Amino acid sequence: MIKLEKRPQPSKAWTYLTPLLAVALTMVVGGALFAGLGKDPVVAIKTIFWEPLFSEFAFYYRPQLLVKGAPLVLIAIGLSLGFRAGIWNIGAEGQYIMGAIIGAGVGLAFYPMEAFYIFPLMVIAGAFGGWIWAMIPAFLKVRFGTNEILVSLMLVYVAEQLLASASLGLLRNPDGHGFPGSRNLRDYASAHNGDLIANTGMHWGVVAALIAVIFAYVLLNRHMLGFHIRLTGEAPRAAKFAGVNPSRLILICLGASGALAGVAGLFEVSGPAGQVSIDFNVGYGFTAIIVAFLGRLHPVGILLAGALMALTYIGGEIAQSKLGLPAAAIQLFQGMLLFFLLTVDVLTNFRIRLAKREVA
Amino acid sequence: MTGTLLKLNGLTKAYPGVVANNNVSFEIGKGEVHALLGENGAGKSTLVKMIYGLVKPNSGSMVMNGEDYAPVKPSAARQAGVAMVFQHFSLFDALNVAENIALGMENPPKMRDLAARIKEVSETYGLPLDPFRTVGDLSAGERQRVEIIRCLLQDPKLLIMDEPTSVLTPQEVDILFETLRKLSAEGTAILYISHKLEEIRTLCDNATILRLGEVVGDCVPRETTARDMAEMMVGSKLHVPERTGGDIGPVLLELNDLSVASPAEFGTALKGISMEVRSGEILGIGGVAGNGQDELLGALSGELLTKAGTIVLEGDDVSQMGPVGRRKLGLLTAPEERLGHAAAPDMSLIENAVLTGSVREGLEKNGFLKWGKARNFAETIIEKFDVRTPGPGNAARSLSGGNLQKFVIGREVLQRPDVLVVNQPTWGVDAAAAADIRQSLLDLAAAGAAIICISQDLDELMEISDHFAALNEGRLSDIRPSKGLTVDEIGLMMGGAHGMEVAHV
């Protein structure tokens, strides 16, 4: 009989080991899944994890790693602040879209003027777009006690409709022969978020993601606000006793995660994506939830998890094109990662004991 | 009153890392009132759980009425004639008495027959109870009656009672004891678990004393002093707190007609509480649990804001101020619930030191935390209050209840408060640690602080407080000097018998 026994305090070692174990389990079960689809599991796993980094074409894939990883890390850092405090922003995807629309909108409003301040203004507008979208669930929760999970999630679908509307109407390229989508910001130097060093994938979003990691680390470990965030998540009553104002914390956490998702959207739309289009969003806002948990809600962990997730994205695409694996199988593979992480998580707080049956 | 009812032979139960019971043997005679005495964590609960079939012993055996007795589950224990009244009641507020009792039976009779039986049993044993009253309207004492009657309907040979008087006023205790004596006279044995020594001396025929899972002695309580029993429980000489007698100074905290609704669903609203506490004074506030203690602490800590002017601290109106502001001004509090309220279970002691200490101990500057200073503060608490832990980096939940309580009280006391409010400062704490905590409160008062000690332990309040008042349904009784108060007077201040009829035996 297997028994779970609560540890007197969470195991430090397992806190770090569980993500690795989860990755290993995902490889094993994912491999079985690929085998079931008639592919060689070893080749498939190798394609996903190895090819993007060390293959012949790695020079092309490596910059992609930064391009995919940056928005994931940026969004996940913001989400992790709220998750730490038990405030569940599930709608980062919507905030990401709103940041992109409003940020790109500000940039396009200046077209075709060239000025150094346009891009900074777009970044601020992007942050504002995400922030205001997150303020809706925050305000409703503080004022009426609504559930932020539902409200923020629903607002994703509203944002998607606004995105469609913007790319078909308000922001549509006047010189685009009636095709949906805005002007391409790549052709507008003042608004373009290009590679800082050519062909490295290193754009402003990557810089922002790294700054966010450092900032979150300092906040959580050295600052009173970070302490209050952690305290609220661990023991809400003790937090109240310590003097934390829960409403203020909700506004701060949802606001911060919204703003970070918003700038992530702006960096994407002004750089890798280039334009506001109907299918601009690809689910970074949802995948970032996995990244946040995979990284143990720890800033450095999120950085590593973001890199890993980006790897599976790119590797997954290679596997699709080279091995003909269905896209759904790749998504399943990524979902497994979170599933196994949550499953083996139990080991941090419990130890497994093979107990003999108790003597009667 | 002859013959052995239950004999325990070398019962041992080990949990990983701790031996809860080691080779425990004793006998309970028919009709005997047998006390099981021990500090928290001495293994009393595990032992009765084995008798009641909730836990299986690793080794050892039990003999009931000359036959082997090894209950595999509580229903088997009940079959054998063992009944138990738990410390925490398991009753549904929305159902009436008879329905609650029927729920616990395997084959409940028709409601009308059951009600008749409840009436009959309750009258026989001097526990009047209307079977059709809703449990939600009953007082704690009456709820306990429901539990007792539920047991008596099984016609038990052995009745186990776990800390039955912790929810009762002294008058209600008297009624209960009458019933227990009558049961005992009829041949029902009673295993009475408690750490209240005076009660055991009045009620019990024999006592078995447990310490760290082992039987360390037995005695006839009537012939043993409470002090001797306490020392057997603790295993060492007991240090009795002494007061050095500071001067009573000016009023530091004033409550003016404080009324506030409870934030909890089944909480008790505070109604028109007025009082003042002076420098050097300890005000003891007694009362049965659930009469507004948590709400009073919340109103004083700043978790619960009240109408302007209701709380005045050294001339400043703090009624609308949050916990941080009050701490800055010198009003500190220590809530009853250690894990999750006074301390965050999974956070280290250093982090828990920051929890309330950040303002007064200067553990932050411009919002940035000074971890080095926080560690020093945590280490000081650990050293000065003799908190047993490998180090300040350990999680709060890894500490035993008593050690964590010492940490929580120490954290507030070392911040040199002007006014300190504590709720149940020694609840679940062993006698030696409790004495240390009480001594620290006395010392703090002697140094000029005003202290409000909310507690359900009357002995504790009589030992340390200068004035005494009781909370009853959210109202505060008159405040009277503790010296010279009789148990009867205290009982009446706590609400008397809450309108319960006295046993007619």
The domain limits of chain B are 4-234, 251-341+400-493
ipTM: 0.84
Residues of chain B in contact with residue A353, where contact means CB-CB under 8 angstroms, are 16
User: What is the pTM assigned to this prediction?
Assistant: 0.80
CB contact under 8 A, A238 and B59: no
CA angle A145, A147, A149 (to 5 degrees): 150
Question: Mean pLDDT, chain B, as a whole number?
Answer: 88
**pLDDT confidence of B206, banded at 50, 70, 90?**
very high
Fold match between domain B4-234 and domain B251-341+400-493: yes
Of A346, A316, A344, the closest CA to residue A332 belongs to A316
Considering only CA atoms, give the Rg of chain B.
24
**pLDDT confidence of B127, banded at 50, 70, 90?**
confident
Chosen from B55, B348, B350, B355 to mutate, greatest number of chain A CBs within 10 A: B355
- Assigned CATH topology for domain B4-234: Rossmann fold (3.40.50)
Rounded CA gap, B411 and B396, in Å? 13
DSSP letters along B380-417, please?
HHHHHTT---S-TTSBGGGS-HHHHHHHHHHHHHTT--
Predicted confidence (pLDDT) per residue in B406-426, tens digit? 999 999 999 999 999 999 998
Rounded CA gap, B108 and B127, in Å? 21
- Asked if A6 is an interface residue toward chain B (Cβ–Cβ < 8 A), one would say no
Across the interface, of B16, B342, B354, the residue whose CB is closest to A241 is: B342
pLDDT at residue B163, rounded to an integer: 82
Predicted confidence (pLDDT) per residue in A188-218, tens digit? 988 888 888 888 888 999 999 999 999 999 9
Does the pLDDT value for residue B16 go beyond 80?
no
Question: Mean pLDDT, chain A, as a whole number?
Answer: 91
User: What distances in angstroms separate CA B251 from CA A352, B314, B452, one per listed residue?
Assistant: 57, 7, 13
Alpha-helix runs per DSSP H in B140-187: 140-152, 170-185
Six-digit token pair at A59?
């020079």
Q: Where are the domains of chain A?
A: 40-324
Closest residue on chain B to A7 (Cα): B398
The DSSP output letter for A7 is -
- Asked if B356 is an interface residue toward chain A (Cβ–Cβ < 8 A), one would say yes
Does the pLDDT value for residue A91 go beyond 50?
yes
Q: For strand B33-38 and strand B206-211, is the pairing parallel, antiparallel, or unpaired?
A: parallel
Six-digit token pair at A168?
């078909």
pLDDT at residue A223, rounded to an integer: 95
Does the pLDDT value for residue B385 go beyond 60?
yes
Hey, which CATH number is domain A40-324, 1.10.3470, 3.10.620, 1.20.120, 2.60.40?
1.10.3470
Does the pLDDT value for residue A359 go beyond 50?
no
Residue A8: HSE in the Cβ half-sphere, 13 Å Cα cutoff: 12
Residues of chain B in contact with residue A245, where contact means CB-CB under 8 angstroms, are 322
Across the interface, of B322, B345, B347, the residue whose CB is closest to A243 is: B322
pLDDT at residue B247, rounded to an integer: 75
Predicted confidence (pLDDT) per residue in A102-144, tens digit? 999 999 999 888 999 999 999 999 999 999 999 999 999 999 9
Of B105, B111, B112, the closest CA to residue B149 belongs to B105
Mean pLDDT over B364-383 rounds to 94
**pLDDT confidence of A360, banded at 50, 70, 90?**
very low
Of B483, B476, B440, the closest CA to residue B461 belongs to B483
Q: Which residues of B432-467 are buried (b: 16+ CB within 10 A; e: fewer)?
A: bbbbbbbbbbbbbbeebbbbbbbbbbbebbbbbbbb
Six-digit token pair at B225?
């002093």
CB contact under 8 A, A231 and B70: no
DSSP letters along B90-103, please?
---TTSBHHHHHHH
The DSSP output letter for A272 is T
Q: For strand B270-278 and strand B467-472, is the pairing parallel, antiparallel, or unpaired?
A: unpaired
Across the interface, of B59, B333, B364, the residue whose CB is closest to A224 is: B364
Chosen from B61, B336, B369 to mutate, greatest number of chain A CBs within 10 A: B369
Does the pLDDT value for residue A285 go beyond 50?
yes
The DSSP output letter for B96 is B
Hey, which CATH number is domain B251-341+400-493, 3.60.110.10, 3.40.50.300, 3.90.1150.10, 3.40.190.10?
3.40.50.300
**pLDDT confidence of B330, banded at 50, 70, 90?**
very high
Contact B275/B251 with Cβ under 8 angstroms? no
pLDDT at residue B500, rounded to an integer: 58
Does the pLDDT value for residue B146 go beyond 60?
yes
Six-digit token pair at A135?
């303020």
Does the pLDDT value for residue B386 go beyond 50?
yes
